[in-house]
């Protein structure tokens, strides 16, 4: 329902702004001194620009989807190999001791542990289609242990906030879209997204633990969080001490090497389990083809709406207003063009994707704004959608403090994304 209002709002606001521009052109001599703006023929012809944008954005949507067919088929094929080879199961065994500490209300061998770890591990690997049913299954198992069936339990809140914080190892869809838009190196946002999602996940863990009074100062939790923090801190230290010209070279090399090592690892694990690697890749690739085709209507709907919004001049006004406010604090406003993606992400994944693509079109896919928008897109989940789906699956009506904690993690991702993208691409 939220996306419905957003989509309608794009058109209504575009109509209002366009009418004001035309009116300003007609009454230019009377109101130009008042507003300090000179209306031109571009304002008179704004409706021509809007209608042309609908056709252009529809064409761009299909072009992207056609390219996505190949990229999604490739990566979902690789992910299928990893899934059958036991990569998700292996990660589950690795994180189980940590999960037992941050879900203290659950019994030792509760079945929800398996589903939760597999869900989050699948999200980290980009297995969205596998993650959603695993997440719903985990919520159902958590609901069985929930004494108040209408109110979210503490373990359910912790699980959903960790889920929406979006810790990501392989941002497949973002890399695929960057490739479709002609990026010189689609994977150069790999490390920035991984770092940004780390900070958002830690923020989500800390805020929920504080509310639930979970003791994070035990050896197991400190070992996991401290070890991961040490690795992330080392990465940031290394890159902050590199010459600016070397940051892109090293991050590109490291990111692509890591991605290819994951592919090799998945193939090796599947081969070791005597899985028919080729057949499993084909099965996953078929799924990728179906996903890419299904996404066309959603891309057309959202990109056309955003195209209309920009063509009317409304998006430029919004970005300028935000830039003006940020500029009052003496902060560099170059990142402001990427903020619409960040604002949209908690509300709608497809809407944020559309905003990201719009940033690619307007600023360039390899521009600073374009790369930052990609970082925002890959750094969190769609908070409201996830809450609606997971709580709706088990009939929870009172979500308690889930939304507040989820949005806190999202805000952390935005702040961290600005600094990290500035470090890598600034």
Q: What average pLDDT score do residues 292-302 get?
A: 76
Residues in the chain: 426
pLDDT score at 49: 93
Confidence of residue 129 (pLDDT cuts 50, 70, 90): low
d(CA 46, CA 200): 40
CB 164 within 8 A of CB 345: no
pTM of the model: 0.71
Would you list the domain boundaries of the chain?
50-425
pLDDT beyond 90 at 124: no
Count CA atoms closer than 13 A to 18's CA, side-chain side.
18
User: What confidence tens digit (pLDDT) does each residue in 245-286 have?
Assistant: 676 677 667 767 877 888 898 899 999 999 999 999 998 888
CA nearest to 171, candidates 319, 379, 415: 379
User: At 126, phi and psi to the nearest 5?
Assistant: 80, 15
User: What confidence tens digit (pLDDT) does each residue in 197-221 have?
Assistant: 889 999 999 999 999 999 888 889 9
pLDDT score at 91: 72
d(CA 116, CA 155): 10
CB 312 within 8 A of CB 319: no
């Amino acid at each position: 329902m939220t996306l419905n209002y957003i989509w309608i709002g794009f058109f209504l606001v575009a109509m209002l702004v366009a009418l004001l521009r035309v009116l300003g052109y007609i009454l230019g001599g009377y109101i130009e001194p008042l507003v300090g703006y000179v209306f031109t023929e571009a304002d008179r012809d704004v409706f021509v620009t809007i209608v042309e944008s609908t056709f252009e954005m529809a064409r761009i949507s299909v072009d992207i989807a056609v390219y996505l067919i190949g990229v999604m088929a490739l990566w979902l094929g690789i992910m299928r190999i990893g899934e059958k080879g036991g990569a998700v199961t292996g990660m589950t065994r690795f994180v189980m001791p940590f999960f037992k500490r941050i879900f203290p209300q659950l019994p030792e061998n509760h079945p929800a542990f398996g589903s939760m770890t597999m869900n989050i591990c699948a999200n980290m690997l980009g297995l969205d289609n596998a993650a959603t049913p695993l997440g719903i299954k985990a919520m159902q198992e958590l609901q069985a242990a929930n004494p108040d069936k209408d109110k979210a339990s503490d373990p359910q809140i912790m699980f959903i906030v960790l889920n929406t914080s979006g810790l990501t190892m392989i941002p497949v869809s973002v890399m695929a879209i960057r490739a479709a838009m002609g990026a010189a190196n689609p994977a150069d946002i790999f490390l920035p997204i991984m770092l940004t999602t780390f900070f958002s996940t830690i923020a989500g863990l800390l805020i929920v633990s504080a509310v639930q009074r979970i003791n994070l100062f035990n050896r197991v939790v400190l070992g996991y969080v401290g070890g991961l923090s040490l690795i992330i801190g080392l990465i940031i230290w290394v890159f902050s001490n590199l010459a600016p010209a070397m940051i892109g070279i090293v991050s590109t090399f490291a990111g692509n090497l890591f991605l290819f090592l994951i592919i090799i690892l998945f193939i090796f694990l599947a081969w070791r389990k005597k899985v028919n690697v080729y057949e499993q890749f084909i099965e996953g690739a078929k799924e990728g083809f179906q996903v890419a085709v299904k996404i066309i209507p959603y891309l057309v709907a959202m990109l056309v709406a955003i195209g209309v919004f920009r063509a009317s001049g409304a998006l430029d006004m919004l970005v300028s207003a935000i830039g003006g406010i940020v500029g009052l604090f003496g902060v560099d406003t170059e990142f402001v063009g990427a903020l619409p993606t960040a604002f949209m992400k908690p509300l709608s994944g497809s809407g944020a994707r559309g905003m990201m693509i719009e940033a690619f079109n307007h600023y360039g896919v390899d521009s600073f704004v374009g790369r930052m928008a990609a970082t925002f897109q890959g750094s969190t989940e769609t908070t409201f959608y996830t809450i609606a789906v997971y709580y709706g699956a088990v009939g929870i009506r009172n979500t308690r403090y889930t939304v507040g904690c989820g949005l806190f993690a999202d805000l952390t991702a935005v702040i961290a994304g600005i600094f990290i993208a500035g470090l890598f691409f600034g």
